[in-house]
């Protein structure tokens, strides 16, 4: 028989799963968020920011957005690199196979590139969680990690279980095993998202991590209580409640998004094709407008402001070679590696900005 971690399905869990499935039906009425590019984009930015903020990254959500847009951001180089790595991973989130252990290592390597020396490999030493010098939690010995991870993936692939419950179990067991030297929290949260997204694509765009950030102490408490109890029941119930909250929040936001843009901006966005760079003149011809000032104010600038149309040269907004590209799919939204992007150290940025 396949290995099954210790947990018991409770009535409370099944009631929450039932509520989740009912909400999935409501999402279908808004076409799985296909018609909500701004909401999808903002939710994924929130997910990146929140998952890193839980790990003490000091960059703001606005700074994360600016990094995605290729703008100059002044901040700790390590924190900027963490964001850039996370952007690369979330750009591919729809392609991740969470049932493949090799995929776990592959995306850990991207997420932790240049941050740790063993990115993409399981740890070779003992790790734990400490409060000052007091050990709060000690992970299993490093030599047991491969066996424990094989058992966890055996559970994922072979045990028949509701995917929402199974994803919570995976998340808890992953954090308990702590297979990597660093990055375990963000990988556990990411792969739970990928698991529930294998059931419904809408979960790719829910800000589950931002709800965890808001309830961060509850998150830690749920892990600690499950550790003490020897099963993941408390953590499962907590995470199901987090998923429910993320779904309800997103439904409310989805109902507001359509009022954010003018009729003119919606018209231009609909006429543009994804991935094609347009000059200002070409876009003005598309909508039959001759006044550049009116076009920018009423059509183009609102799309640039909310980030669903990007400049090809964001560092030189008035360049005669400037072009504009429609952004919609998650891969395009998070394509941070534009030709002109550069990461600056704090010292370099001060010189550029003329700050002593």
Q: Do 11-257 and 263-340 have matching folds?
A: no
- The residue extents of the domains of the chain are 11-257, 263-340
Query: Whole-model pTM?
Result: 0.74
CA distance 119 to 54: 20
Q: What's the pLDDT band for 347 if we cut at 50, 70, 90?
A: low
What pLDDT is recorded for position 296? 92
CATH code of domain 11-257: 1.10.3290.10
- Over the stretch 237-279, which tens digit does the pLDDT of each residue have? 999 999 999 999 888 776 665 556 678 888 898 899 877 899 9
State how far the alpha carbon of 343 is from the alpha carbons of 66, 72, 89, 291, 331, in Å.
Answer: 12, 7, 18, 37, 21
Contacts 24+ apart (CB under 8 A), 95-101: 96/190, 96/191, 96/194, 97/194, 98/156, 98/191, 98/194, 98/195, 98/198, 99/153, 99/156, 99/157, 99/198, 101/149, 101/150, 101/153
Give the burial class of 18: count Cβ atoms within 10 A of its Cβ; 0-12 exposed, 13-18 middle, 19 or more buried: exposed
Residue 63 has pLDDT above 60, yes or no: yes
In tens, the pLDDT along 108-146 reads 999 999 999 999 999 999 987 776 667 678 899 999 999
pLDDT of residue 335: 41
Of 203-207, 253-257, 290-294, 342-346, where does mean pLDDT reach its minimum?
Answer: 342-346
The answer to whether the beta carbons of residues 194 and 59 sit under 8 Å apart is no
* Span 191-204, pLDDT tens digits: 999 999 998 888 98
For residue 265, CA distances in Å to 273, 305, 321, 332, 348 come to 14, 11, 22, 20, 37
Q: How far apart are CA 349 and CA 66, in angstroms?
A: 15
| Among the four given CATH numbers 1.10.10, 3.40.1130, 1.10.720, 2.60.120, the one describing domain 263-340 | 1.10.10
């Amino acid at each position: 028989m396949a290995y099954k971690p210790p947990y018991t399905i409770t009535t409370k869990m099944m009631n929450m799963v039932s509520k989740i499935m009912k909400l999935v039906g409501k999402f279908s009425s808004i076409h799985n968020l296909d018609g909500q590019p701004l909401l999808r984009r903002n939710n994924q930015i929130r997910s990146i920011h929140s998952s890193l903020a839980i790990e003490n990254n000091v960059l703001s959500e606005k700074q994360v957005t600016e990094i995605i847009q290729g703008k100059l951001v002044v901040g700790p180089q390590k924190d900027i690199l963490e964001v850039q790595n996370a952007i690369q991973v979330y750009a591919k989130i729809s392609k991740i196979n969470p049932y493949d252990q090799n995929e776990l290592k592959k995306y850990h390597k991207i997420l932790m590139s240049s941050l740790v020396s063993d990115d993409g490999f399981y740890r070779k030493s003992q790790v734990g969680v400490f409060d000052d010098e007091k050990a709060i939690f000690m992970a299993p010995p490093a030599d047991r990690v491969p066996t424990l991870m094989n058992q966890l993936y055996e559970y994922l692939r072979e045990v028949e279980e509701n995917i929402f419950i199974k994803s919570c179990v995976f998340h808890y067991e992953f954090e308990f095993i702590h297979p990597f030297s660093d990055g375990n929290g963000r990988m556990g949260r990411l792969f739970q998202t990928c698991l529930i997204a294998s059931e419904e694509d809408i979960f790719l765009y829910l800000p589950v991590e931002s709800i965890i950030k808001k309830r961060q102490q509850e998150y830690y408490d749920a892990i600690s209580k499950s550790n003490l109890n020897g099963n993941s029941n408390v953590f499962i119930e907590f995470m199901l409640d987090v998923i429910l909250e993320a779904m309800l929040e997103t439904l409310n936001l989805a109902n507001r998004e359509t009022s954010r843009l003018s009729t003119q901006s919606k018209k231009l966005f609909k006429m543009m094709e994804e991935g094609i760079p347009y000059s200002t003149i070409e876009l003005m011809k598309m909508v039959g407008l001759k006044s550049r000032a009116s076009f920018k104010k009423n059509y183009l600038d609102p799309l640039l402001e909310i980030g669903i149309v990007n400049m090809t040269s964001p560092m030189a907004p008035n360049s005669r070679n400037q072009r504009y590209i429609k952004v919609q799919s998650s891969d395009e939204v998070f394509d941070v590696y534009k030709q002109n992007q550069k990461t600056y150290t704090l010292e370099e940025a001060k010189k550029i900005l003329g700050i002593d």
